Structure 1
Amino acid sequence: MAKCGEYIKSQFPLIDDDLKKYVEDILDNGADEFEDTEEVYEAIGEVLQGISEKSEKDIRDICEKLLNMLQPNKISAGNGPHKVLDAPIHLASMTSNQDDTTELKSIWLQTRDDNFKVDAKKLEKAEAKLQQKQGKRQDAKVPVAVPVLQSATASQVTSKKDNKLEAKGTNRAQDIRIENFDIAYGDRVLLQGADLVLAFGRRYGLVGRNGLGKTTLLRMISSKQLKIPSHISILHVEQEVVGDNTLALQSVLECDTIRENLLKREKEITVAINSGATDPSLSTELSEIYVQLENIEADKAPARASIILSGLGFTPDMQARPTKTFSGGWRMRLALARALFSRPDLLLLDEPTNMLDIKAIIWLENYLQNWPTTLLVVSHDRNFLDTVPTDILHLHSQRIDTYRGNYDQFHKTKTERLKSQQREYEAQQQHRAHVQEFIDRFRYNANRASSVQSKIKMLDKLPELRPIEKEIEVVLRFPEIEPLSPPILQLNDIGFFYTKDKIIFNNINVGATLESRICIVGDNGAGKTTLLKIIMGYLSPTSGIRTVHRGLRFGYFSQHHVDQLDMNVNSVELLQKSYPGKPVEEYRRQLGSFGVSGDLALQTIGSLSGGQKSRVAFASMCMGNPNFLVLDEPTNHLDIETIEALGKAINKYNGGVILVSHDERLIRMVCKELWVCGRESVVSIEGGFDEYRRIVERELEAQSK
């Protein structure tokens, strides 16, 4: 019975001790009498159903396992126990000779002891007690999921002058001014009374903590829920290109609708003239079309589109392939290429480096430095923000502050500004205290009455300064692990292919220890993720030997894990499902180690920002107490402060780390060894990331010639 009790506790961690004892008593009394799973379910199924959200099928499966524990030598198939008869039995004669007072001893007609059935009074008492306890622990032990917030709303104040110009169609201003606007996401206010001014031709980097509304602001602008002059064209790169039979190069060229319409009309007129049309206006229109095509340099468009695609990693063969043959990541690159080619008045980019390898990021940084119109980009890649923007927009405290210069200049200026404001606040507090002391001392002195009144008025007129609200420092903590004696991990003469005509790796020899901090870099498609899966044993090499320590426990993080989180539960419930049987406090403590605490841990996963979801995925990964971390693009959607915290956490971690990342700052923070993946090999290069960047820049330079 102890075994049954342990099993019940493992399946129902929140079961009350009294109720557990009640269920055990029922099972104990009927241990030898249960004939099949149905009878066990009739006895305790209703009770178990009332203390969990498990389905009826799950409860029946649990009842079947309990029956097997109670009667291990009995095969239950729904037809009762199997018994071998000593002699033939004539059932008709047995039943005809039976009277109501005779107890029939037969394997077919048994009287049953009903002691094991549910006692109605006991059940009623147990259920009442259960409901009372569930009510008490509703807040503490069973977190209530907050509904997923469905949409964002925006409102703003517009000037009468701008409204008149817009109505007349005479507004030709290229600068964008969005003044005194609010944005809310469900019941939560993201921006209140904020102002945003985007000067034409400048490049703005929008920064701020995860979950403050950066992506929502871009969507409000692109959907024109925030009013912008109608003559300004906006393009927001958010959705991947639809996969169809359109060639990649043609998909980019189609963005230039003026060129496409002119070419279409040229073709129609040419066909008409060749078919014998004699209308002289057709020839005139055709001449005008040729002039317009020449003015927009239509003949140079394919070359310009090809250069953009090449910079984003599309080879000539890939440019000639239909869009439906590309994965989602490559279609997002196509969407970015279309945006760069079409050159809207305002280009909105949300984390453009997430889908790119380091070579493509370096190309994009160089390309955007000469961007001719207005650019607004959300990015958490610090090196990208140091290279591309001319201005930084800092979203915090429900408002937006503007800083001139790149991210590095913004960080210095903001730090100095906060120090200055803090000094000013402290000086005013000292002054207030000094004046208040004078007032208190001479308040009832008739000779000083006029001076006291003067001081009181002076205090009333002083501007009320507030103390500086410091942003909470992000801290991530990986678990402490026990050391392992080497060797830890070794790949010897490893080869791998999916098909024999496409070899990924050939004769690879690499190894790692618990002190390793290895970063894997290389072009997209070079096999970085495949190498990680071979290292962890998810893929078996086609040749060579993989050797790992028997005590090695991998913790694997990838963006696919973030996308596959259950969006309808909260973070605590997510960990409860993956690692049942632990106290709620332990789940909360684990989430708190990755910055998911307080009410945030009780919000549904679907209502969290991308960065917050990543932190939940980190917390889930570390519940298994891994001693070797394998991180595949962990920085996607993390804000700059969290990336910094991730780097510090990796450096403090006493297990091994293999990292695939394109974030230059994180690589420089943690990397002790750099593996370059490509051309069927994995090579460790001397000189680290600086040497790799020089190699990439030389390749891009040769490619542009």
Structure 2
Amino acid sequence: MSQFTDILEREFPAIDNELKDYVEGVLCGSLEDFESCDDIYEAVGDILQSIDTGKSEENIRDLCDEFFNIIKKNTKNEVRKVLNAPVNIAAMAKEMENVDKNMQSIWLTTKDGGSKVNSKKLEKAEAKLQQKQEKRQDVVKSAVAAPVKLQTATASQVLSKKNTKMEQKGTNRSMDIKIENFDLAFGDKVLLQNANLLLSLGRRYGLVGRNGLGKTTLLRMISDRQLAIPSHISVLHVEQEVVGDDTKAVDSVLECDLERNRLLTREKEILATLNSGVQDTKLSTELNEVYAQLQNIEADKAVARASVILRGLGFDADMQQRPTKSFSGGWRMRLALARALFSKPDLLLLDEPTNMLDIKAIIWLENYLQSWPTTLLVVSHDRNFLETVPTDIIHLHSQALEAYKGNYEQFEKTKTEKLKAQRREYEAQMAHRAHVQEFIDRFRYNANRASSVQSKIKMLEKLPELKPVEKEVEVKLKFPEVEPLNPPVLALSEIEFRYKDTDPLPVFKNVNLSATSDSRICIVGENGAGKTTLLKIIVGQLTTIHGNIISHRGLRIGYFAQHHVDHLNMNTTCVGVLAELFPGRPDEEYRRQLGSFGISGQLALQSIASLSGGQKSRVALAKMCMADPNFLVLDEPTNHLDIETIDALGRAINAFKGGVILVSHDERLIKVVCKELWVCGNRTVRGMEGGLDEYKREVYKEIEAANS
């Protein structure tokens, strides 16, 4: 063993004693254990490579060859006993059959009483076990390979005869939207039943509820007019990104004003005709009318208004002149939002508008929507946004819609008090029922009390039946149980990065970042400042030739990418997603992992395509944690998650024993978990001593300076 020790200490001076003892223990075999140096490489090659990553595979194989020669030499020195001639065991056994019954044979062993195992029961148990294993394999196999039938949403509605007649005659001029007695389903799942929705002109409604209950589906049904809405009310749903072409960003926004475009086109046509020498008083009169209409809709201010909206959403002067095809998907979604804000429909439907925005743009949007002139219905899980923008909250739960006046904070208080009152009323009625029933049972057969008993029975029958208050199940997320690593865990020193060597300026430079198992680092900054790029460098997806990255040898990073959900296989099930990435594991392990992130029961066997955005995010988190990471790098993990799940994510991060680096624009989550705030901007990353509040003060100053 000393020969192996000398070589290991010579080649790997930093090797610790436990690892050295393990390698020596493996190598203390013989030629029966290792037939070639390749066998030794398979046994310890990866371990040796991990000790010193500077050694090439060829170096490690040379060491394995040296180890094999030592084993070969030691084996030759061993004294071996060999037989003079081959032994025919079958012939010897046959000869022993004829020996005296009293003689015991080493070849023929007998037991008194025969076998004590019931062969029929054994066969039955083996068959049952085999059937169970085949069934388990079939479930996993079908989860991965079977084609998934995509479900669709359907809506049904009982229409009022009065409203139908008014719609047919064209006499309905009300700008309020009243959708009554409608049902909503997604496949076999009922989302809403006998629901009613009232949207009054000028009110701003926040639609809230748990993931998967049908908020996005409701918005789509309204925008597609599968739920009846007066035809004179214009509806715009910001869902799809702008199609990229050669149109400038600012012109793409201006195109939304159809009336302005029509009048400008007609103006050009009339001027062209008049300039050609045609004398026509009717055309001159029409041109004056066109000018009057353009003045009435303030067409001269349209370009400035479009520019203000684009600037607020992060488009500088140069970006506003760029063609739409030059922007990424996230920026095209911002363009779609800008077009919607510019066109001012009678009913604007927004689904998670803050997902694509940084904190600066979110603050601008909150201020802009507070003076929105028409009706707004927005689905959002950004608590700060819901406390700033809506005048009303609509709560989707238990297949019903319930309206509350005020913002989200007022909604929570009112809902809590309402649930307490309902619980007290239910408990009081149950106590009253029990008291009356006791009287009935006591005097049921008493002739003198017969009339009283009958009146009590009738009274019970007339009492309204109250249902017990259903308490919403608390959302729980659980990251893997890991042992914290001793520092240093991760350190970035003087990092500078360019996507191309020819780029005149780096994305950032002079980046110094260190993290331990106690770190809770939150990174903020404007879109395009390099936050995602920095995370990709940390996890090794991007490499940089400037600066150093030092990481603990036991570091296992779990990376949740910003568009992680888009990379899930939509044609498989939740279990199938994990089985594809980690094949061969028991079905129960996949189910248990999904259950740690709230994907349990039949939900785990549903297709990814049928899940809500928040449920897909949970599947992506479960997939990330299958590798048992001890350090988390999360890029916008709150996108699509409901408020309760975001709160659960904050608790799970705080309970996690490893380090966390997080990019997020959700103020509530940042305040819950952040111990250290880093700001990306001006081609570098800097620490912010005052935390999120100090950063927001800087942002407000920038917005005020831009507006002045």
Query: How far did 1:132 drift?
Result: 8.9
1:42-67 Cα offsets, whole Å, 9 max, x none, are xxxxxxxxxxxxxxxxxxxxxxxxxx
Verify the 8 A CA contact 2:383 2:643 in the aligned structure 1. Answer: yes
Matched-pair contact (CA < 8 Å) for 1:177–1:198: yes
Where 1:503 maps in the other structure, the secondary structure is coil
Partner amino acid, structure 1, of 2:277: G
TM-superposed CA distance for 1:488, in Å, is 1.0
Change (3 A) 1:152 1:685: same
Question: Are the counterparts in 2 of residues 478 and 622 from structure 1 also a CA contact under 8 Å?
Answer: yes
Q: Which whole-Å deviations, capped at 9, do the CAs of 1:501-547 have from their partners, x for residues lacking one? A: 13111111121111000100000000000101111222112311111
Instruction: State the AA in 2 paired with 1:649.
Output: A
Rounded to whole Å, the distance in 1 between the matches of 2:472 and 2:342 is 39
- How far 1:640 moved relative to its partner? 0.5
Deviation at 1:438, TM superposition (A): 0.3
Deviation track 1:200-243 (CA, whole Å, cap 9, x = no partner) reads: 00000000000100000001100100001111110000111111
1:657 equivalenced with 2:665 (yes/no): no
Match of 1:505? 508
Could you tell me which runs of 5 or more consecutive residues in structure 1 were left unpaired when the two chains were aligned: 1-125
Q: Give the paired residue count.
A: 580
How many Å apart are 1:147 and its aligned residue? 4.0
- For residue 598 of structure 2, the aligned residue among 572, 595, 600 is 595
Are 2:674 and 1:671 equivalent residues in the alignment?
Answer: yes
Code of the residue aligned with 1:331 in structure 2: it is R
Aligned to 1:585: 588
The alpha carbon displacement at 1:133 in A equals: 6.2
Separation in 2 of the partners of 1:656 and 1:466?
46
1:346–1:375: 8 Å Cα contact kept in structure 2?
A: yes
- Structure 2 unmatched runs, 5+: 1-125
Choose which of 699, 704, 707 in structure 2 pairs with 1:696. Answer: 699
2: CA distance between counterparts of 1:136 and 1:323?
Answer: 50
Q: Look up the match of 1:528.
A: 531
Q: Of 624, 630, 634, which residue of structure 1 is paired with 2:633?
A: 630
Quickly say closer, same or farther: Cα 1:127–1:577, change in 2 above 3 A.
farther
Q: Which residue of 1 aligns with 2:614?
A: 611
Alpha-carbon contact 1:148-1:607 (below 8 Å) kept: no
Change (3 A) 1:407 1:148: farther
Q: Where does residue 164 of structure 1 map in the other structure?
A: 165
Change (3 A) 1:584 1:431: same
Going from structure 1 to structure 2, the CA distance change for 1:237 and 1:132 (only over 3 Å counts) comes to: closer
Partner of 2:240: 239
Percent same amino acid at aligned positions?
A: 71
Q: 1:469 to 1:138 in 2, by over 3 A?
A: farther
Alpha-carbon separation, structure 1, partners of 2:664 and 2:328: 19
- Matches of 2:289 and 2:545, distance apart in 1: 63
Q: Which residue of 2 aligns with 1:134?
A: 134
* Deviates most, 446-455 or 143-152: 143-152
Letter in 1 for 2:548: I
For 1:513 and 1:620, the matched residues in 2 are separated by: 24
Matches of residues 387-536 of structure 1 in structure 2 within 5 Å? 387-499=388-500, 500-536=503-539
Ranges of 4+ aligned residues in structure 1 off by more than 2 Å? 126-150
Encode CA deviations 1:264-316: one digit per residue, 9 max, x unaligned: 00011111111111122111111111111111111001000000000000000
State the one-letter code of the partner of 1:454: S
Q: 1:356 corresponds to which residue?
A: 357
Matched residue type, 1:494? I
Contact preservation (8 Å) 2:381, 2:640? yes
Q: For the structure 1 residues 702 and 135, does the alpha-carbon distance in structure 2 shift closer, same or farther, using more than 3 Å as the test? A: closer
Task: Report the equivalent of 1:185.
Answer: 186
**Partner residue of 1:194?**
195
Please give the per-residue CA displacement for 1:353-389, whole angstroms capped at 9, x wherever unaligned: 0010110000000000000000000000000000000
Counterpart of 1:585 in structure 2: which amino acid? E
Distance 2:130 2:290 in 1: 81
Q: Does the 8 Å CA contact 2:206/2:377 hold for their aligned counterparts?
A: yes
How far apart, CA to CA, are the structure 2 residues paired with 1:360 and 1:672? 24
Following the alignment from structure 1 to structure 2, what is the Cα–Cα distance between the partners of residues 307 and 522? 21
C-alpha deviation, 1:146, in angstroms: 9.0
Q: Is the 8 A contact 1:594 1:619 kept in 2?
A: yes
Q: Quick check: 2:143–2:572 contact (8 Å CA) kept in 1?
A: no
CA distance in 2, matches of 1:559, 1:530: 11
Distance 2:348 2:132 in 1: 58
> Which letter does structure 1 place at the counterpart of 2:686?
V
Determine if contact 2:148/2:572 at 8 Å carries over to the other structure. no
Query: Does the C-alpha gap of structure 1 residues 425 and 140 become closer, same or farther in structure 2, counting only changes over 3 Å?
Result: farther
3-state SS of the aligned residue for 1:321? coil
Q: Deviations over 1:328-377 (max 9, x none)?
A: 11111000000000001100000000010110000000000000000000
Give the Cα separation in 2 of the matches to 1:151 and 1:652. Answer: 39
User: How far 1:135 moved relative to its partner?
Assistant: 5.3
Per-residue deviation, 1:484: 1.4
Q: Which residue of 1 aligns with 2:311?
A: 310
Q: Are the counterparts in 1 of residues 179 and 227 from structure 2 also a CA contact under 8 Å?
A: yes
Q: Tell me if the contact between 1:519 and 1:660 (Cα under 8 Å) persists in the aligned partners.
A: yes
Q: Which amino acid aligns with 1:358?
A: I
Distance 1:173 1:227 in 2: 14
Select 2:577's aligned residue among 574, 577, 585: 574
1: CA distance, partners of 2:270 / 2:137: 78
Q: Shift of residue 159 of structure 1?
A: 1.3
Q: Is the 8 A contact 1:151 1:185 kept in 2?
A: yes
Q: Shift in Å at residue 581 of structure 1?
A: 2.6
Map 1:90-101 to 2 at 5 A.
Answer: none
Q: Look up the equivalent residue of 2:536 and give its one-letter code.
A: K
The DSSP-based 3-state class of the residue aligned with 2:498 is strand
Q: Counterparts of 1:278-357 in structure 2 under 5 Å?
A: 278-357=279-358
Equivalent pair of 2:235/2:348 in contact (CA under 8 Å): yes
Q: Report the TM-score when normalising by structure 1.
A: 0.80
Deviation of the 1:703 alpha carbon: 0.5
Amino acid at match of 1:371: W
**C-alpha displacement of 1:134:** 3.2
Q: What does the per-residue CA deviation read over 1:59-115, in whole Å, with 9 as the maximum and x for residues that have no partner?
A: xxxxxxxxxxxxxxxxxxxxxxxxxxxxxxxxxxxxxxxxxxxxxxxxxxxxxxxxx
Distance 1:458 1:573, change over 3 A: same
Change (3 A) 1:448 1:131: closer
CA distance in 1, matches of 2:705, 2:308: 13
| 1:455 Cα deviation from its structure 2 partner | 0.3
1:538 aligns with 2:541: yes
Distance, in Å, in 1 between the alignment partners of 2:130 and 2:269 is 79
Query: What residue number does 1:106 align with?
Result: none
Call closer, same or farther: CA 1:317–1:576 in 2, change over 3 Å: same
Counterpart residue type for residue 407 of structure 2: N
| SS of the residue 1:377 aligns to | strand
Which residue is 1:249 aligned to? 250
1:183·1:192 contact (CA, 8 Å) conserved in 2?
yes
Q: Is contact 1:389–1:406 with CA below 8 Å preserved after alignment? A: yes
For residues 228 and 436 of structure 1, do their structure 2 counterparts lie closer, same or farther at Cα, with a shift above 3 Å needed? same
